[in-house]
Amino acid sequence: MKTRIIRGDEVRRLLTMEDCIEAMRAALRDVSAGDGAMLQRCMLPLPQDNKFALMGGADRRERLCGAKVIVFPGAEAARRGTSQGIIPLFDSETGALAAIVDAEQITAVRTAAASAAATDLLARKSAASLAILGAGRIGSLHIDAIRRVRPIRTVYVWNRTFSRAQECCRRAAELGLRAVPCASAEEAVREADIVCTVTQAREPILLGRWLKPGAHINAVGACSPLARELDSEAVLRSRIYADQREAALRDSGDLAIPLKEGSLDARKICGEVGQVLLGELPGRQSEEEITLFESVGISLEDLCAAALVRRKAEASGLGLEVEF
């Protein structure tokens, strides 16, 4: 069996946001239905605050297994754009190496797509304003993703470097949105119906007292039990859903820190977004309720996105077929 190698530029051509949102719905359902198996993320610290990560799993529906192998960049590597990774996909029945897919673009798109899938379940239907805290590539992709599931008209953007917030707003304006660069995170959040935190912050950049009634939060950047983007008040004010409960409790400081402090009871975590998709759990209960999607990123999301790219590559003749 030949192996198809799919480069980053080919992934960018093949992985549309619309298709990836649907793939993330399927991945989140599979996680909660038990149709996917995952190893918990392994992280190895590296110089310059980089982290080598290995995220393995298997999708019974796709009959594929594999892993994302990637270096999560520290600040310097992120500026240089040098972080790279791959997703090898194996046929779980024959053991054959079916594909090797560039991981960097998949990570970025599927992260925003998963937030959109959760937003579609949990945010108020009328939500029209969006705050982005963290104006990097994934933050910008969240604008494109969220506007596909809610009638977003206004985007507020905050970034520690104000010029990056301005650049993000220019890109949002090209999508036909009113885009406002903000001098503070509070300014961005106060009027927002939906808030996405997409930073490398280790201490809270979103405070609960800023949130308006009925807001929905996608907490994306805190993927370490020692780092958090939300203060305890923001978490305690929210009805909480995870992408995968075990991973969120282990890898998200947004939850792990208030749990350790004793201010958060684990029973307050309602469950997984996939359970809402399956009809096993209710979503938002009122227009005034604040909802929170705690997203640490899970291997099944990467595998489902990579499988989608592989199918599209085979259909369009993209990628390089090789024999090992």
In angstroms, the Cα distances linking 266 to 38, 233, 269, 271 are 22, 15, 6, 10
CA distance 264 to 258: 5
pLDDT in tens, 128-154: 999 999 999 999 999 999 999 999 999
Local structure of 12: helix, strand or coil: helix
In angstroms, the Cα distances linking 236 to 153, 184, 295 are 29, 23, 17
CA angle 290, 295, 297 (to 5 degrees): 170
What confidence score (pLDDT) does residue 100 get?
A: 98
CA distance 48 to 68: 21
Contact 6, 86 (CB under 8 A): no
Contact 92, 79 (CB under 8 A): no
pLDDT in tens, 187-211: 999 999 999 999 989 999 999 999 9
**Count of CB atoms within 10 A of residue 9's CB?**
11
CA distance 262 to 258: 6
Task: Please report the domains of the chain, with CATH numbers, ordered by start residue.
Answer: 3-107+300-322 (3.30.1780.10), 123-297 (3.40.50.720)
Q: For residue 273, which of 261, 265, 281 has the smallest C-alpha distance?
A: 281
Local structure of 259: helix, strand or coil: helix
What confidence score (pLDDT) does residue 51 get?
A: 87
HSE-CB of 308 using CA atoms within 13 angstroms:
27
Q: What is the pTM of this model?
A: 0.95
In angstroms, the Cα distances linking 21 to 15, 137, 269 are 10, 17, 24
Q: What is the mean pLDDT of residues 223-242?
A: 95
Q: For residue 66, which of 300, 286, 243, 266 has the smallest C-alpha distance?
A: 300
Over its C-alpha atoms, the chain yields an Rg (Å, rounded) of 19
What confidence score (pLDDT) does residue 83 get?
A: 66
Residues 6+ apart with CB under 8 A from 181: 157, 158, 162, 165, 166, 168, 169
Residues 6+ apart with CB under 8 A from 274: 28, 29, 30, 31, 32, 33, 243
CA distance 255 to 244: 13
What confidence score (pLDDT) does residue 177 get?
A: 98
What confidence score (pLDDT) does residue 79 get?
A: 74
HSE-CB of 198 using CA atoms within 13 angstroms:
27
What confidence score (pLDDT) does residue 223 get?
A: 83
pLDDT of 296 above 80: yes
Q: What is the mean pLDDT of residues 49-77?
A: 89
> Model confidence at 69, in pLDDT bands (50, 70, 90)?
very high
